[in-house]
Amino acid sequence: MSDFKIFDVAGSGMNAQMVRLNITASNLANADSVASSLNQTYKSRQPVFAAVFRNALDKTQSTAVAVKVLGVVESPAPLTMEYAPHHPMANAQGYIFKPNVNPIEELANMIAASRAYQNNVEVLNTTKELMLQTLRMGE
């Protein structure tokens, strides 16, 4: 694998983790939101990733694996329905609806995404240092 493909692979990993962090932040920001119907209630979202193989059929080159964001899916977990007849957002029956966001899971997801991003930064820094040391060998 050429050194430049390493930058592409690590960059795609960083991009995927940034998407993951942004979605996690959105989930946490909406964790305490309230709606008056099931259809209007915020639903937890998660990104879907896939590995992308490059030159997998070409035997003369090694394969590089990048990360692609396929999309974002909403959680199928049930929403919370709470009886609060005096709440301004309560429906005619006196219920409010809360999102299916679990803040503890989201914080764990945020830590994992942050560490994965940091690992990709380390890959880039290490590759850069190795390339610089290779160039210095010619001096």
pLDDT at 61 (0 to 100)? 60
pLDDT at 23 (0 to 100)? 97
Query: Residue with structure tokens 């030159």?
Result: 55
pLDDT in tens, 84-133: 999 999 999 999 999 999 999 999 999 999 999 999 999 999 999 998 99
pLDDT in tens, 57-73: 555 565 668 889 999 99
Q: State pTM to two decimals.
A: 0.83
Core vs surface per residue 106-136: b (16+ CB within 10 A) or e: beebbeebeebbeebeebbeeeeeeeeeeee
Q: What are the sequence ranges of the domains in the chain?
A: 3-31+44-75+101-136
Cβ-based neighbours of 123, under 8 Å, separated by 6 or more: 6, 10
